[in-house]
Chains A and B, each alone.
Chain A
Amino acid sequence: GQNIDQPTEMTATEGAIVQINCTYQTSGFNGLFWYQQHAGEAPTFLSYNVLDGLEEKGRFSSFLSRSKGYSYLLLKELQMKDSASYLCAVPSPDKLIFGTGTRLQVFP
């Protein structure tokens, strides 16, 4: 079966850096997605990693280690608007299985 774990909540200060971890156990691997979801809105795509390593996209970076079943999302220069839930998801294989989501609160 599939199992995806994320911390439930995190807090950080504006301008800081925060790392949101995701560990997964799947039968087969077809990459890992990160989504951002503001309250009451649909998820928006942030990143898709299929190979090991770090992929940087502006203030957001995503890392994957397939051998460890581990990924993280790195948010730099935090802004108040980054307060949201961050969901990691893995294909399984023809649908997405979502983690519990990490609610990030950014304080001034």
Chain B
Amino acid sequence: GAVVSQHPSRVICKSGTSVKIECRSLDFQATTMFWYRQFPKKSLMLMATSNEGSKATYEQGVEKDKFLINHASLTLSTLTVTSAHPEDSSFYICSASPLAGAHSYEQYFGPGTRLTVT
């Protein structure tokens, strides 16, 4: 149980275009979803936390107009990288939690999406 999928697993896009990444919880309802990015040989950095039906909470330094997050249902969250630039190339990982608030650290990770902007 507790499977999280991401789509696509890899994407290459041209500079200036937008890319949408989907994160789905397959066998549980994800009250809270998290989006991370990870640069090569670095640790995971939290970008934002989203709760179903409400606006995402972005971490300091993350542009909310550039990284659009939509948590439209209890099983789906999307991250859209708008007007992508080469420096947005990274590994994007989502995670989902069946819990909210102080216990949402119980997280299940998706397989990640490798974004390359040319």
Inter-subunit contact B105/A30 (CB<8 Å): yes
In the bound complex, CA of A100 to CA of B49 (Å):
20
Inter-subunit contact B102/A93 (CB<8 Å): yes
Interface positions, chain A 1-48, Cβ under 8 Å from B, are 30-31, 33, 40-44
**B104's contact among A31, A44, A94, A97, by CB below 8 Å, is which?**
A94
Known contacts A40-B91, A40-B114, A43-B109: does B46 contact A96 (CB below 8 Å)?
Answer: yes
**B111's contact among A31, A42, A99, A101, by CB below 8 Å, is which?**
A42
Inter-subunit contact A44/B109 (CB<8 Å): yes
Inter-subunit contact B43/A101 (CB<8 Å): yes
Is A95's beta carbon under 8 Å from chain B? yes
Residues of A within 8 A of B109 (CB): 42-44
Known contacts A30-B102, A42-B111, A43-B109: does B44 contact A87 (CB below 8 Å)?
Answer: yes
Residues of A within 8 A of B42 (CB): 100-101
Inter-subunit contact A98/B91 (CB<8 Å): no
> What is the 8 Å Cβ interface bit string for chain B, positions 51-80, against chain A (1 contact, 0 not)?
000000000000000000000000000000
Interface positions, chain B 66-118, Cβ under 8 Å from A, are 91, 93, 100-105, 107, 109-112, 114
Residue of A31, A91, A103 with most chain B CB atoms under a 10 A cut-off: A91
Q: Chain B's nearest CB lies how many Å from the CB of A87?
A: 6
Nearest residue, chain A, Cβ from B46? A95
Q: Chain B's nearest CB lies how many Å from the CB of A95?
A: 6
Inter-subunit contact A42/B93 (CB<8 Å): yes
Interface positions, chain A 68-108, Cβ under 8 Å from B, are 87, 91, 93-101, 103
Q: Chain B's nearest CB lies how many Å from the CB of A71?
A: 15
Known contacts A94-B104, A96-B107: does B112 contact A42 (CB below 8 Å)?
Answer: yes
Q: Chain B's nearest CB lies how many Å from the CB of A47?
A: 13
Inter-subunit contact B114/A95 (CB<8 Å): no
Q: Chain A's nearest CB lies how many Å from the CB of B31?
A: 11
In the bound complex, CA of A99 to CA of B112 (Å):
19
Residues of B within 8 A of A33 (CB): 105
Jot down 25 A-B pairs with beta carbons below 8 A, ordered by A. Answer: A30-B105, A31-B105, A40-B91, A40-B114, A41-B112, A42-B110, A42-B111, A43-B93, A91-B102, A93-B105, A94-B49, A94-B103, A94-B105, A95-B46, A95-B105, A96-B34, A96-B46, A96-B105, A96-B107, A98-B45, A99-B43, A100-B42, A100-B43, A101-B43, A103-B41
